């Protein structure tokens, strides 16, 4: 499904030696490295198509990974690091958009839709019948029905 993006990716990919996103300088503390990884997953590779910087070989992604690791090592909190990134690149760098006026519809839309839809569903299932629904079965049909039901039970 990403097949259309691939040609675009090829243009933006810089084919560096580490073509699979393996960095030489990982943090020695596994806990810190894990935290760095989870932060990286939230950051968009700005020159790629809808990829996080973890999944990209673009030069920018490699650089950003380095910055995240540096800051984690320097003891910055997740919040501070994300803030640093948005002050540099804007909200675009965040794969999960922040909650603010411009994204109000995005975040509250689902809830709003559920409430509206829920109201209609509630009204719908509570409504009273307005028309006679079915004609009663004729005697023949009733007999056949009983016969079918008996067959079903055996």
Partner 1 sequence: MIAELGHYFTVLALGLAILQAVFPLIGAARQDGRMMIIGRPAAYGQFMFSLAAFIALTYSYIVSDFSVAVVARNSHSLKPLLYKISGVWGNHEGSILLWVMFLALFGAMVAYFGRNLPKTLQARVLAIQAMIGVGFYLFMLLTSNPFDRLATVPFEGNGLNPLLQDPGLAFHPPFLYLGYVGLSVAFSFAIAALIEGRVDPAWARWVRPWTLLAWVFLTIGIVLGSWWAYYELGWGGWWGWDPVENASFMPWLVATALLHSAIVVEKRDTLKSWTVLLAIIAFSFSLLGTFIVRSGIITSVHAFATDPERGMFILMFLALVIGGSFLLFALRADKLQAGGMFAPISRESGLVINNLFLSVAAAVVLYGTLHPLLSDAIFGVKSSVGAPFFNLVFGFLMIPLVMIMGLGVHLKWKRADIKGLLQRLKVITGLSLLAVVMTLYITYGGEIMPAIWMGLGVWLLLSMFQELGSRIKLGQVPLSNSLRRLTRQPRSSWGMSLGHLGFAVGLIGIIATSSWGLEQQKVMRIGDSMAIGDYVLTLDDVVPVAGPNYSAVRGIITVQPKSGPSFVALPESRTYISSPMTTTEGSVKTTMTGDLFIVIGDAQSSGRWGVRVYYKPMQVWLWIGATIMVIGGMISLSDRRYRIGSPQGKKKNAKLTAAKETKGSAAHAV
Tokens 């004729």 locate to 138
Question: Closer to partner 1 at the Cβ: 77 or 90?
Answer: 90
Q: 44 pairs with which residues across the strands?
A: 52
- Out of 35, 44, 65, 69, point to the residue binding partner 1 (CB under 8 A): 44
What residues from 54 to 83 belong to the interface with partner 1 (CB under 8 A)? 55
Using CB under 8 A as the binding rule, whether residue 2 contacts partner 1 is answered as yes
Residue of 44, 51, 54, 52 lying closest to 90 (CA atoms): 44
In terms of Cβ atoms closer than 10 Å to its own Cβ (0-12, 13-18, 19+), residue 33 is middle
CA distance 3 to 49: 12
Question: Closer to partner 1 at the Cβ: 51 or 71?
Answer: 51
Question: Closer to partner 1 at the Cβ: 67 or 95?
Answer: 95
Asked if residues 19 and 62 have their Cβ atoms less than 8 Å apart, the reply is: no
Using CB under 8 A as the binding rule, whether residue 37 contacts partner 1 is answered as yes
Query: End-to-end distance of the chain based on CA atoms, in angstroms?
Result: 50
CA distance 65 to 33: 11
What is residue 18's DSSP assignment? S
Minimum CB–partner distance for residue 5 and partner 1 (Å): 6
CA distance 93 to 48: 11
Query: What mask of x and - would describe binding to partner 1 in positions 93 to 132, judged by CB under 8 A?
Result: xxxxx----xx-xx--xx--xx--xx--x--xxxxxxxx-
Using CB under 8 A as the binding rule, whether residue 32 contacts partner 1 is answered as no
Q: Which residues bind partner 1 (CB under 8 A)?
A: 1-8, 10, 15, 17-24, 26, 37, 41-42, 44, 49-52, 55, 90-97, 102-103, 105-106, 109-110, 113-114, 117-118, 121, 124-131, 133-134, 137, 141, 144-145, 148-149, 152
């Amino acid at each position: 499904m990403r097949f259309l993006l691939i040609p675009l990716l090829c243009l933006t990919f810089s084919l560096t030696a580490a073509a699979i996103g393996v960095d030489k300088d990982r943090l020695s503390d596994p806990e810190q490295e894990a935290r760095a990884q989870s932060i990286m997953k939230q950051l968009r590779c700005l020159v790629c198509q809808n990829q996080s910087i973890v999944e990209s070989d673009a030069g920018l992604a490699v650089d950003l990974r380095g910055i995240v690791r540096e800051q984690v090592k320097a003891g910055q909190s997740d919040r501070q690091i994300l803030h640093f990134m948005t002050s540099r690149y804007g909200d675009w760098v965040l794969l999960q958009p922040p909650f603010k006026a411009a994204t109000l519809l995005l975040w509250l839309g689902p809830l709003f839709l559920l409430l509206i839809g829920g109201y209609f569903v509630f009204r719908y299932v509570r409504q009273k019948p307005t028309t006679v629904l079915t004609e009663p079965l004729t005697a023949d049909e009733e007999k056949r029905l009983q016969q079918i039901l008996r067959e079903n039970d055996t």
